[in-house]
Structure 1
Amino acid sequence: MTSQPVEIPGKFGFGTMSMTWTSQPPSFEQSINTLKFVTSHNEYGVKLLNGGEFYGPNDVNLKLLQQFVAANDPSINETLIISIKGGVDASNLKPDGSKEYISKSIENVASYFPKSGPRPKLIFEAARVDPQVPYQDTIKYIKEYVDNGTIDGISLSEVGINSIEKATAIAPISCVELELSLFSQDIINNGILSFLSEKQIPIIAYSPLCRGILTDYCVEHADTFLSEIPEGHFKHTLDKFQPETFKQNLVPLKKLYAFAHDVKHTSLESLALSWILKISGHSNYKGIDKVTRILPIPSGSTIDRVKLNFGNFVELSNDDLKAIDEILKENPVKGLRYNAHAEGSLFQ
């Protein structure tokens, strides 16, 4: 079978990690209602749901998505794409790109989703590059499951240019999941955005609100924002959530908040997402002839949060982009995307 990349429709995707991989996950009933809401309202443009085999214990994220599909309108299901990260040992969160483990992961993921009838298309992505296994071999193992019809397509995750080149030589790549936000612009500066734009492979932009920092709530509750994060939450390990770094980043954050409210008359989260939408498909952007499509994947555990995150988008002009760049140039963002320990696994 000759595989083709899965076309990724819509303006946005929707991330489901916060629905299951957190110390206080919402009920399945609440999450399913939220997923139904965000995928049935065309103004949000959400056709891609992003999940993970290791997003919580005992395949809980896969079980949530399975129950959502079973409860959802079949006519909507067949318009959706579900992209699942796997290939990670849940016991230690280390990537395993071996044939044995990739096969085990894909077969487990696929077992949760319908194989016939009106169904979402299923994309699999190895969550990280396993340095012990040649990446092109890992992609070959995944491609076997596209060829036999178990999954519909392949996404890449947290990869650098070298790995993207290796992957595209083996199989059609539907999309690449990478972090992008006003506070995490690494892919713009390291050449990955330019490279993917040359190939016109869509980018799935995760953490577009920098894990909740780029929100009105964060600015308006800056004194208590860090202390409100539950004890043991992974955010406590991240550079930008360390008290001194957070304090330093309040300077550019408050300036972006003021620009959002005073100039664009919108929320900070809407500005942050509108910025990504403006860059997506942009011509002549920072030396790139035409930027590839970029789909941000904000999340939201409730319908009210979805309305906040997805509401009130604004049209940004090129002058607005310059003004935002100037704010961040004069007030550079501090802190790594994750932390020094994690750096070795990023952009591999």
Structure 2
Amino acid sequence: MTTTDLTVPRRRIADLDVSAVGLGCMGMNFGYGATAADEAEAIATLNDAIDIGVNFLDTADMYAAGANETLLARVLADRRDQVVLATKVGITLGDDGYPNGTNGSAEYVRASIDGSLRRLGVDTVDLYYLHRVDPQVPVEETIGAMVELVAAGKVRRLGISEASAGTLRRASAVHPIAALQSEWSIFSRDIEDSVVPAARELGIAIVPYSPLGRGLLTGSAAAAAPGDNDFRTTLPRWQGENLTANLALVQRIREIADALDATAGQVALAWLLAQGDDVIPIPGTKRRRYLRENAAATALNLPADALAELSAMRAAGDRYPDMDWVAGETIAAPSA
């Protein structure tokens, strides 16, 4: 799909008018072996996103211990009114800068939003997610504290990440939840049985993170090598026989893409976009080239036979080393 003369369509998250494909900013300086040398290209990518109509930017207070928010501030300083801005609260970090737990207390929520607003250089966040539910704190208590932020004008809409269907219903009973952010892609299908139907029952938009399988669906597995500070090398799907099986599926996706004059990544995004108008994937990139490639996926219409074949695919291996999030909604790796 060509990236010239892009017109990125819009979708809705409550009353927020967002690009059908957003931009996940985590990898710009966190989690994928990122270095400070990439910062200039990351800033250029953020500006290019806004220029071509990708207005939905996603960050979190934990990404690079707040430095990801500070990075966005450099662009928001001049372009805040052109952006729908999302950030998150609830994951705590250890001394190594990686997740070590959750905190959903009201006190933590109140302190965290002020830190995020300061780092971002803004007065209001458009969408504020509970990044992970704290198993030690009733979700009603956490959402209740977040409602106070709405009343104070610090937050416009509330979201939640990696929540079960039951938790979605409990949270929504306290305050309308505008968006659910969870991993969803051709290779990550966990949420389809119960979570997606619950979100739709409640009128909650679905914001898939890692819609390209953390790069696996684009064929970038070779980019992650043990010892290079890229956490993907710890994931079951990127190891041994699982990786071999998954790369065979990626090759088939590439064949489908070739027949459509598209890339494998564009096919993966188009598959998600075809799941419903309430789906807004947020592929992450720190390169203008890939930003434009991802945005062009909004113009790709997959034939019915391709959609069916892609929907039937299943990746080998769990997406995390431990899948406790399904039952206990705990974290196991750095994630969007």
Partner of residue 10 from structure 1, selected from 1, 11, 19 = 19
Q: Tell me the TM-score normalized by structure 2.
A: 0.85
Counterpart AA for 2:311: D
Task: Give the deviation of 1:24 after TM superposition.
Answer: 2.8
Tell me how far 1:128 sits from its aligned partner: 0.6
Matches within 5 A, 1:67-86: 67-70=74-77, 72-73=78-79, 77-86=80-89
CA RMSD of aligned residues (A): 2.3
2:113 is aligned, of 80, 102, 106, to: 106
Residue 334 of structure 1 corresponds to which residue in structure 2? 316
1:5–1:172: 8 Å Cα contact kept in structure 2? no
Task: Tell me the equivalent position of 1:243.
Answer: 240
Please tell me the residue identity of whatever aligns with 1:214: L
Which residue number in structure 2 is paired with residue 49 of structure 1?
A: 57
- CA–CA distance in structure 2, aligned partners of residues 301 and 14 of structure 1: 9
AA partner of residue 176 (structure 1): L
Question: For the structure 1 residues 121 and 100, does the alpha-carbon distance in structure 2 shift closer, same or farther, using more than 3 Å as the test?
Answer: closer
Shift in CA distance, 135/276, structure 1 to aligned 2, threshold 3 Å? same
What amino acid is the match of 2:47? K
Give the alignment partner of residue 194 of structure 1, picking from 194, 197, 204: 197
List aligned pairs for 1:72-151, cutoff 5 A.
72-73=78-79, 77-91=80-94, 92-114=99-121, 121-151=125-155
Structure 2 unaligned residues grouped into runs of 5+? 1-12, 332-336
Deviations 1:289-316 (A, max 9, x none): xxxx100101211112212333354212
Conserved 8 A contact 2:169-2:198:
no
In the superposition, relative to structure 1, how do residues 68 and 225 fare at CA in structure 2: closer, same or farther (>3 Å)? closer
1:167 maps onto 2:171 in alignment: yes
CA drift at 1:114: 4.8
Cα pair distance change 1:82/1:230, threshold 3 Å = farther
Normalised TM-score (structure 1): 0.82
Give the residue type in structure 2 aligned to 1:32.
Answer: I
Aligned mates of 1:232, 1:29 — CA distance in 2: 21
Identity, in percent, stands at 26
* Deviation of the 1:341 alpha carbon: 6.1
1:270 and 1:311 in contact (8 A); partners too:
yes
Asked whether the equivalents of residues 156 and 177 of structure 1 are also in contact (C-alpha less than 8 Å), the reply is yes
Is the 8 Å Cα contact of residues 226 and 243 (structure 1) preserved in structure 2? no
Supply the distance in 2 between the matched residues of 1:251 and 1:113 (Cα, whole angstroms).
Answer: 42
The answer as to whether partners of 1:80 and 1:121 remain within 8 angstroms in 2 is no
Residue 305, structure 1, aligned to residue 321, structure 2:
no
Looking at structure 2, the residues matched to 269 and 204 of structure 1 have their Cα atoms a distance apart, in angstroms, of 17
Task: Find the partner of 2:216 among 203, 207, 213.
Answer: 213
Q: Give the C-alpha shift of residue 113 in structure 1.
A: 4.0
Higher-RCO chain (CA-CA 8 Å, sequence separation at least 6): 2
What's 2:34 paired with?
Answer: 24
Give the Cα–Cα distance (whole angstroms) in 1 for the partners of residues 238 and 127 of structure 2: 32
Distance 2:328 2:88 in 1: 15
Cα-to-partner distance string for 1:241-287 (whole Å, 9 max, x where unaligned): 1122101212222222212213x221100100111111123xxxxxx
| Number of residues of Structure 1 aligned to a counterpart in Structure 2 | 311
Q: Quick one: distance in 2 between partners of 1:150 and 1:196?
A: 25
Deviation, structure 1 residue 67: 1.3
Does residue 280 of the first structure (1) align with residue 284 of the second (2)? no
TM-aligned CA distance change 1:28 to 1:255, over 3 Å: closer
Change in Cα spacing, 1:242 to 1:115, as seen in structure 2 (3 Å) is: closer
Shift of 1:226: 4.4
What is the 5 A alignment of 1:30-45? 30-42=41-53
Return the letter of the residue paired with 1:54. Answer: M
The residue that corresponds to 2:9 in the other structure is: none
Q: Is the 8 A contact 2:224 2:232 kept in 1?
A: no
Deviations 1:196-238 (A, max 9, x none): 12222111110000000111x43xxx6x4543x6523211221
Unmatched segments (≥5 aa) in structure 1: 282-292
Tell me the secondary structure at the aligned position of residue 276 of structure 1.
helix
